[in-house]
Chain A
Amino acid sequence: MARLNELNLIDALEGLKTGRFTSTELVTACYEQIEQFDPVVKAFVTFTKERALEQAKEADDLIQKEGGKAFEKKPLLGIPYACKDNFSTTGIETTASSNILKGYFPPYESTVTTRVNEAGGIMLGKTNMDAFAHGSSTETSDFFKTLNPWDISRVPGGSSGGSAVAVASDMCIFALGSETAGSIRGPAAWCGVTGMKPTYGRVSRYGVIAMASSTDSPGPLTKTVDDAAYVLEIIAGKDPFDATTSPKSVPEYSGFIKDFDLKGFKIGRPRSYFEIDLEDEVREIVESAVKKYEELGAEIVDMDLLDPKYSIAVYTILQRSEVSSNLARLDGIRYGQNREAFGMEARKRMMLGAYTLSAGYYDAYYSKAQKVRTLIIEDFNEAYKKVDLVIGPTMPSIALKLGESDNSPMFGELMDVLAEPSAIAGLPGISINAGFSRGMPVGVQLIGQQLTEGNVMGVAKVFQQNTDFHLNRPVIKSSE
């Protein structure tokens, strides 16, 4: 029998409902795993063990009292999760892995964690990330580097690296992350888990420490697509505290993808996503995933999309500009440390953003980028007249070795090249494990039109129903 912490969300819920085990046992199993392996991979920056065990006890009491009915009002009752450190959590230190926010205890809770907690979810702790989500390797955390559990000489990807590692290492049942362009899908691909980046505005940004406000999208990192659908249903939806959230009602994703049928589905294979500098094995694995979809009844359509190199440029300008505006508020007066505490990466991004927004350069950079953004959106709109979804590699390579990003001032932007176009256009995308290259997981991503999370997850689920890549777990070896 699988150890409790190894269960996926759906199975863990079933076990709690039927009384096969208690939430206290489940939470304890997660902490046992954390205590054994977190000293090696370092996924967490803060633990909330005492509180979690109290909440588990409360959950167990409620289940004892109300039985299965308790889950109708609290669909995540007794489920332990890990939370990226950029979600504000009342009274629990929230730093976005930055020195400048060290010692900051938010007086309010983010909408996403509020919803998860009200649904009965139990937070195990906060996970490490690139400081302020500025990065794609979790190496730019101001505290320490998180290591990839499949090979601890490699990075986990980022910026939601800690969350991806916590899921891949079975330290939690699911995790919360956020993506600006690649920060959920990237680490999910490199750690071999499922990462769902929703449509911009589908999930509230309220209480999430801002990176680039026009693309920031919170979302789940999970063990299966079913789990992602289940969590998304809970965290998605209109929020009066975030005016950019969509007023459209949230579909019942779990039910929608239950018996998903690929027949008649057109999946676009953009040539430009396969023509960039991909590792050979990554290309082969993604091509075999495309073939698998064809076997399963989908129609594969070769198509053109704008060269993603334009998205690197657009994203770099928009993100640096928005970062410069968002980090201007950190003055050390109301909370946090003073601006001397900013790390290298944040300084670099703020300053370039201040430049691209400044008088005289605004038109050449910021305005130009926003115009090309329009072209990228129109390009996708044209594509979705012909296909239902777009498929491609998530990352151009397997996880890199630690330290390899040091040479490039645009490392993150270059690594996230395949996530940037969809992020700029606010589209939903999922990354799932499609195979292994030299023992490291390789992700394939599916990208849909805005607010078609159901289709995106449905098509991804069919892949997991017919393959078992997502069931593989790393054997964590310490360096000795």
Chain B
Amino acid sequence: MKLKQQEIPLSNGFSFVIITFDMSELIITKEQVKRIAHLCKLQLTEAELEKFSQMFTQTLAVIDVLNELDTSDVPETYQVTGLGNVFQEDVEQKGTLTQEEVLKNAKNKKRGLIVTKGVFDR
């Protein structure tokens, strides 16, 4: 993909480097954005699909810099504390919320339960 760097000057002499690209070579197509939006349970307009497709392509182009680094023998770090197997003592937990408290913020409830749409086919 052909990337062009474009400098957008800001006040005080500072500037952003904006990466622009040939629109025919989007890394993430509108179709893909539509699918991701579906996975995220978000509804997008046609204009938004277009915009996100450009934004994501732009962002992924910046991220591409990671490929400059060789990580073939490097393990992943998922958390930085070095802690493992953190257990709690098996004692009665005090301060559990009451049913009333838990339901307080739900809009649609019935007989002490939250009402939702069915998710399984009968």
Q: Which residues of B contact A424 (CB under 8 A)?
A: 80
Query: Measured between alpha carbons, how far is A223 from B6 in the docked complex, in Å?
Result: 39
Decide: A246 and B83 in contact? CB cutoff 8 A: yes
Is B3 on the interface with A (CB-CB < 8 A)?
no
Q: Which residues of B contact A107 (CB under 8 A)?
A: 97, 101-102, 104-105
Decide: A375 and B74 in contact? CB cutoff 8 A: yes
The residue on B at minimum CB distance from A337 is B107
Query: Measured between alpha carbons, how far is A279 from B13 in the docked complex, in Å?
Result: 7
When each residue 408-448 of chain A gets 1 if its CB lies under 8 Å from chain B and 0 otherwise, what string results? 11110010000000001110000000000010000000000
CB distance from B9 to the nearest CB of A (A): 10
Q: Which residues of A contact B55 (CB under 8 A)?
A: 348, 409
Partner of B81, one of A103, A408, A426: A426
Is A313 on the interface with B (CB-CB < 8 A)?
yes
Is A335 on the interface with B (CB-CB < 8 A)?
yes
Residues of chain A in range 256-272 having any CB-CB distance to chain B below 8 Å: none
Decide: B81 and A397 in contact? CB cutoff 8 A: no
Decide: A354 and B40 in contact? CB cutoff 8 A: yes
Is A296 on the interface with B (CB-CB < 8 A)?
no
Decide: A397 and B65 in contact? CB cutoff 8 A: no
Is B11 on the interface with A (CB-CB < 8 A)?
yes
**Stretch from A35-43, A119-127, A141-149, A339-347 contacting the other chain:** A339-347
Residues of chain A in range 316-371 having any CB-CB distance to chain B below 8 Å: 316-317, 324, 328, 331-336, 339-340, 342, 347-348, 350-352, 354-355, 358, 365, 367-371
Query: Measured between alpha carbons, how far is A369 from B76 in the docked complex, in Å?
Result: 8
Partner of B62, one of A108, A200, A316, A328: A316
Partner of B114, one of A313, A317, A334: A334
Decide: B77 and A370 in contact? CB cutoff 8 A: yes
Decide: B36 and A377 in contact? CB cutoff 8 A: no
Query: Measured between alpha carbons, how far is A336 from B107 in the docked complex, in Å?
Result: 9
Partner of B28, one of A355, A404, A438: A355
CB distance from B91 to the nearest CB of A (A): 10
Take A334-B105, A404-B11 as given contacts and tell me if A214 and B78 are in contact as well, using a CB distance cutoff of 8 Å. Answer: yes
When each residue 182-214 of chain A gets 1 if its CB lies under 8 Å from chain B and 0 otherwise, what string results? 000000000000000000110000000000001
CB distance from A142 to the nearest CB of B (A): 15
Query: Measured between alpha carbons, how far is A339 from B40 in the docked complex, in Å?
Result: 9
Decide: B86 and A401 in contact? CB cutoff 8 A: no
When each residue 83-117 of chain B gets 1 if its CB lies under 8 Å from chain A and 0 otherwise, what string results? 10010100000000100011011111000001010
Given contacts A313-B62, A371-B74, A404-B11, 17 further A-B contacts (CB under 8 A): A104-B105, A107-B105, A201-B81, A246-B83, A310-B65, A310-B69, A313-B63, A328-B40, A335-B105, A347-B44, A352-B59, A370-B78, A401-B10, A407-B16, A407-B18, A408-B18, A410-B58
Partner of A351, one of B37, B64, B74, B76: B37
Is A243 on the interface with B (CB-CB < 8 A)?
yes
Partner of A365, one of B63, B102, B105, B106: B63
Query: Measured between alpha carbons, how far is A327 from B11 in the docked complex, in Å?
Result: 34
CB distance from B87 to the nearest CB of A (A): 9
Number of interface residues of B (CB under 8 A): 56
Q: Which residues of B contact A450 (CB under 8 A)?
A: 80
Decide: B63 and A407 in contact? CB cutoff 8 A: no
Is A277 on the interface with B (CB-CB < 8 A)?
yes
Q: Which residues of B contact A373 (CB under 8 A)?
A: 76-77
Decide: A243 and B86 in contact? CB cutoff 8 A: yes
Is B120 on the interface with A (CB-CB < 8 A)?
no
Q: Which residues of B contact A328 (CB under 8 A)?
A: 40
Is B8 on the interface with A (CB-CB < 8 A)?
yes
Decide: B14 and A279 in contact? CB cutoff 8 A: yes
Query: Measured between alpha carbons, how far is A218 from B77 in the docked complex, in Å?
Result: 21
The residue on A at minimum CB distance from B48 is A347
Is B47 on the interface with A (CB-CB < 8 A)?
no
Decide: B65 and A309 in contact? CB cutoff 8 A: yes
Is A105 on the interface with B (CB-CB < 8 A)?
yes
Decide: A310 and B76 in contact? CB cutoff 8 A: no
Is A374 on the interface with B (CB-CB < 8 A)?
yes
Q: Which residues of A contact B104 (CB under 8 A)?
A: 105, 107
Query: Measured between alpha carbons, how far is A196 from B32 in the docked complex, in Å?
Result: 41
Take A279-B14, A400-B10 as given contacts and tell me if A342 and B71 are in contact as well, using a CB distance cutoff of 8 Å. Answer: no
Is A396 on the interface with B (CB-CB < 8 A)?
yes
Partner of A350, one of B40, B71, B74: B40
Residues of chain B in range 1-45 having any CB-CB distance to chain A below 8 Å: 8, 10-16, 18, 28, 32-33, 36-37, 39-44
Query: Measured between alpha carbons, how far is A348 from B76 in the docked complex, in Å?
Result: 25
Q: Which residues of B contact A377 (CB under 8 A)?
A: 77, 80
The residue on A at minimum CB distance from B11 is A401
The residue on B at minimum CB distance from A350 is B40
Take A313-B62, A401-B10 as given contacts and tell me if A340 and B43 are in contact as well, using a CB distance cutoff of 8 Å. Answer: yes
CB distance from A92 to the nearest CB of B (A): 13
* A313, A347, A407, A450, most chain B CB atoms within 10 A: A313
Is B75 on the interface with A (CB-CB < 8 A)?
yes
Query: Measured between alpha carbons, how far is A377 from B58 in the docked complex, in Å?
Result: 27
Decide: B71 and A243 in contact? CB cutoff 8 A: no
Q: Which residues of A contact B71 (CB under 8 A)?
A: 368, 371-372, 374-375
Decide: A404 and B62 in contact? CB cutoff 8 A: no
* B18, B44, B69, most chain A CB atoms within 10 A: B69
Take A313-B62, A372-B66, A374-B74 as given contacts and tell me if A200 and B14 are in contact as well, using a CB distance cutoff of 8 Å. Answer: no
Q: Which residues of A contact B101 (CB under 8 A)?
A: 107-108
Is A312 on the interface with B (CB-CB < 8 A)?
yes
CB distance from B98 to the nearest CB of A (A): 8
